[in-house]
Amino acid sequence: MLKFLSDEDFNGHVLRALLSSNPALDVVRAQDVGLTGTPDPSVLDWAANAGRVVLTRDRGTMTGHAYDRIRAGLPMPGVVVTRDGLPVQSQVQDILIVASCSLPGELKDQVVFLPI
């Protein structure tokens, strides 16, 4: 199963519901690994070094930096982008589908926008 890093601005309600739905899901929060206030390129670098797919709702800057990494040939385990305004359970179900249907490394160099 995939390992995730939730971005600092990731919806806390979604994260709590996600872990409640699947406590075995391997998710660390940016805040818990010392990435509070860290620029997006550094968050992506940390995630790449840790082999973690980034969970974010930042459709603006985070996705742009992810595409920059891909163009530069830098490692990028993947980014999963949720959309605000959708019901929490809908977001959780989409993330769980991605997590359970993807093999480690399968999202390499990809930005996945949810809902699917």
Sign of dihedral through CA atoms 95, 112, 82, 53?
Answer: positive
Does 89 score more than 90 pLDDT?
A: yes
Does the pLDDT value for residue 116 go beyond 90?
no
- Please give the pLDDT value at position 17: 98
d(CA 4, CA 44): 11
pLDDT digits (tens, 9 = 90+) for 8-54: 999 999 999 999 999 999 999 999 999 999 999 999 999 999 999 99
Is the pLDDT reported for residue 1 higher than 90? no
